[in-house]
Amino acid sequence: MLAHRYSVSLSVALAILTATSTACGPKRVTVGGVEMSYDDGARTLMSQGVDAERQGDDATAKARYQEVVNNYHGSPSEPDALASLGLLLYREGGCAPSRAYLERLAVEHPTHPRASQAKTLLNECPTTTGGSTVAAATPTAEVLSTYERRFGEATSPAAKREVASAAADAALAAGDGAAAVRWLLRVRDQEPEPAQRSALEAEIREVIDQHVSFVDVRRLVETLPGRDFPRPLLLYKLGRIQYHVRDYAGAQESLNDYLKDEPSGEHAAGAQHLLARMSALATVSPTKVGVLLPLSGKHRSYGELALQTVRLALGVDKSDRGPGVELVVRDTKSDAVVAAQMAESLIIEDHVVAILGPVFSYAAVPAARVAQQLGTPILTISTADELPELGPYVFRNALTNRDQVEALVDYAMNILQMRTFAVLYPRHPYGEEMLQLFWDAVEKRRGEIKGVESYAMTDTTFTTQVKRLVARDVLNLRGDFKRAEQECDKQPDSYRKARCKDEVKKNLKPIVDFDGLFIPDYPRTIPMISAALAFEDIIVETDPRRLRIIEKTLGRKVKPVTLMGGSGWNSSQVPERSGRNVENALFTDGFFPEADDKVVAEFVNAYQKAYRRTPRLYPEALFWDSARMLGQVLRTQHPTTREALRAGLSGLRDFPGVSGPTSFGGANDAKRPVRILTIKNGRIQDIPDPDAPPQSGEPTETPTEP
């Protein structure tokens, strides 16, 4: 057993020595013969690991991930490497080999996109307490007590090594990594050969990194004698843990203690990197606000509009300085990686007290993870579902699809007493999400979905789908059609029979068994769909005079249908291009520039005066409200720390925003009434919320986003 242990340990030692050779020096590393920055080195190795895993080369992938985990602590790639390595090891061997990496990911990086998966897997693994499995705690104590006695009775170094090695194996099998470290140190102390001692130390490093619980790291630091190996390694791990749980004072003490012992050690670069980050984090400029927007790339136009709005809302001039605030603007270049890098730069280098933006989910989520990790409030208008779950420093001021559908269905069923619905939706992520949300909202209120049809994004004709909704597609299945044809067969000749049957097909009434038809789409498609509905005699008119004319023309009574949609309907193009085919439609939005509201009117007038155009919800209205909310907290509460600003934002209630009175509720997710809009005589109109409080005074990848 000892020979086998030494052989494995020596290979581990060589791997670690090879990997750590690239991490020497405080700022520069060498990877594959190329000198680069510390973070770039980690990114390069991570990329190599991902490529290898995609090609099925798991051995190389594990080696690259392990290099990042071991030698690039504090780099942006470290949590990705922990996730990839932990999940890869879990697929291969289950809980035992993967636990340490999954645990580190869950504890050190709780907002990482794969942290929840890691927590789920850990919950399925055997429960541990203090590094030992609960079920095995008592037998392990008894077994280790026996090894303790045998070790004391051993009379030669070789015998003591054999007992201690067996005890280390037993401790590891029981999940007690701390005990395994103590026994392996005894094996090393009894080993005279330098090469074998080095191999044992490499194995101890591996056990500490993979099998020692976070609680036991501190216990080992406090109980192991002297300042020699492995105390520096334990100090470094303890410092990393303290850093990630924001015990910055403890982290600085542990990491400085490590550097005192090993100023040129293998983890010196990582320790210096974390200390530099903490030093920068301690500096805050209370009036500096970071702004993260796509000012180049595919979403440049949205970024420029948002920046104009923020400057107008906060009253800053072209130098980005205004009363009590200084903007520090950074371009995300319409790129997720750049967004995360710029968020870190704003916090670490520019010392901003908070961040506004980004606009879109692909950039907002990585930027928000960085802000949460570094304890800096970030206020974004993205609709990404995961944002409210990232942590208390992440604020979302958005109009979500769920909010829209809930408000629309609630109004239709509780105010208008509608009970039956059909859905005609586009086959893309937005349409499919809206279908599911609408269906759930209707069923929750005990309504009924009578029919569902879909169409491709590229479709320009919708006759087939509409015919299916009203049972005009397969006429032979309809009894009324069969009976009418039988009457036609009574005609005296074939000509009259054929003419009769043509008239039957033409005049066969649609079966309209739904009160509302939900169409979650946009102005390009809505006019074409509404024309197809009108052609199939699906009537939307409710005006009594017009309805009488229609019924007289058709020769029968008709049941009007209410067309319904989301914020994509809120465009003058819809009634302009559709005419009365969309009359009385109901749809939602968070902002209506023509609303009879003082706050909205003042915003629209200011915006039109400054930029000679009418603002819209994304990004102007929501960024206006976001900037004004942040400005109010800065001017009235004068927070000097990021935590104080976070508390100020979190405490906002019924802020008089142009998108409605806004409050930050649980998980810092903005709550406001959703506007219900309709079309009357070719014009979009606001339906006031009867439950909304009056507003007064001044504030002191995609279809759901712009």
The residue type at 34? V
**Residue 302 in this model has a pLDDT that exceeds 60:** yes
CA nearest neighbour of 286 among 639, 33, 563, 552: 639
Question: How many Å apart are CA 92 and CA 641, to the nearest integer?
Answer: 46
User: What percent of the chain has pLDDT above 70?
Assistant: 90
Residues contacting residue 107 through CB under 8 Å, at least 6 positions apart:
214, 241, 244, 245
Lowest mean pLDDT, pick from 48-62, 442-456, 608-622: 48-62
**Residue 699 in this model has a pLDDT that exceeds 70:** no
CA nearest neighbour of 214 among 231, 237, 194, 197: 237
Average confidence score pLDDT of the chain? 85
Residue 148 pLDDT: 85
The confidence band for 650, taking pLDDT boundaries of 50, 70 and 90, is very high
**Residue 295 in this model has a pLDDT that exceeds 50:** yes
In the three-class reduction of DSSP (H, G, I as helix; E, B as strand; rest coil), residue 278 is classed as helix
Domains and their CATH numbers in the chain: 32-125 (1.25.40.10), 133-281 (1.25.40), 288-399+600-666 (3.40.50.2300), 403-472+510-589 (3.40.50.2300)
CA 29 to chain CA mean position, Å: 32
Residue 437 pLDDT: 96
User: What are 216-270's pLDDT values in tens digits?
Assistant: 888 898 888 888 889 998 999 899 888 877 788 889 999 999 999 889 888 898 8
Question: How many Å apart are CA 444 and CA 115, to the nearest integer?
Answer: 31
> CA angle 167-171-176, nearest 5°?
150
More confident residue, 97 or 313: 313
Question: How many Å apart are CA 113 and CA 119, to the nearest integer?
Answer: 11
**Residue 601 in this model has a pLDDT that exceeds 70:** yes
Helices (H), 224-299: 231-244, 248-261, 268-281
466-474 average pLDDT score: 85
Residue 23 in tokens: 């991490």
366-379 average pLDDT score: 92
Residues contacting residue 93 through CB under 8 Å, at least 6 positions apart:
none
User: What are 170-181's pLDDT values in tens digits?
Assistant: 888 777 888 889
Which helix (H) or strand (E) is 677 found in, with range? strand 675-680
Question: How many Å apart are CA 121 and CA 114, to the nearest integer?
Answer: 11
pTM surpassing 0.75? no
606-629 average pLDDT score: 92
Residues 89 and 121 sit within 8 Å (Cβ to Cβ): no
CA nearest neighbour of 103 among 93, 113, 115, 94: 115
- Exposure class string for 498-521: b at 16+ Cβ within 10 A, else e: eebbeebeeebebebebbbbbbbb
Question: How many Å apart are CA 100 and CA 177, to the nearest integer?
Answer: 10
Question: How many Å apart are CA 259 and CA 267, to the nearest integer?
Answer: 9
Residue 383 in tokens: 């609709």
Which helix (H) or strand (E) is 169 found in, with range? helix 157-173
**Residue 21 in this model has a pLDDT that exceeds 70:** no
Q: What CA–CA distances, in Å, run from 482 to 31, 333, 491?
A: 79, 63, 15
Helices (H), 638-681: 642-650
Lowest mean pLDDT, pick from 68-72, 374-378, 543-547: 68-72
Q: What CA–CA distances, in Å, run from 253 to 26, 241, 250, 478, 678?
A: 19, 12, 5, 82, 63
Residues 145 and 171 sit within 8 Å (Cβ to Cβ): no
Question: How many Å apart are CA 397 and CA 618, to the nearest integer?
Answer: 11
> Best-predicted range by mean pLDDT among 117-126, 137-146, 274-283, 305-314?
305-314
End-to-end CA distance of the chain: 64
The confidence band for 137, taking pLDDT boundaries of 50, 70 and 90, is very low
Lowest mean pLDDT, pick from 2-6, 152-156, 206-210: 2-6
Question: How many Å apart are CA 217 and CA 100, to the nearest integer?
Answer: 12
Question: How many Å apart are CA 494 and CA 486, to the nearest integer?
Answer: 13
**Residue 607 in this model has a pLDDT that exceeds 90:** yes
Residue 488 pLDDT: 83
For residue 148, with 0-12 CB atoms within 10 Å meaning exposed, 13-18 middle and 19 or more buried, which class applies?
A: middle
Residue 133 pLDDT: 41
User: What are 384-417's pLDDT values in tens digits?
Assistant: 988 988 889 999 999 999 999 999 999 999 999 9
The confidence band for 93, taking pLDDT boundaries of 50, 70 and 90, is confident
The confidence band for 145, taking pLDDT boundaries of 50, 70 and 90, is confident
More confident residue, 541 or 119: 541
Residue 65 in tokens: 């991930």
Residue 15 pLDDT: 34
User: What percent of the chain has pLDDT above 90?
Assistant: 48
CA diameter of the chain: 121
478-496 average pLDDT score: 79
* CA atoms in the 13 A half-sphere facing the CB of 682: 5
Residue 405 in tokens: 């559908």
The confidence band for 689, taking pLDDT boundaries of 50, 70 and 90, is low
Residue 70 in tokens: 């071991």
The confidence band for 140, taking pLDDT boundaries of 50, 70 and 90, is low
Q: What CA–CA distances, in Å, run from 178 to 174, 196, 692?
A: 11, 21, 60
**Residue 697 in this model has a pLDDT that exceeds 90:** no
Residues 600 and 283 sit within 8 Å (Cβ to Cβ): no
Which helix (H) or strand (E) is 345 found in, with range? helix 336-348
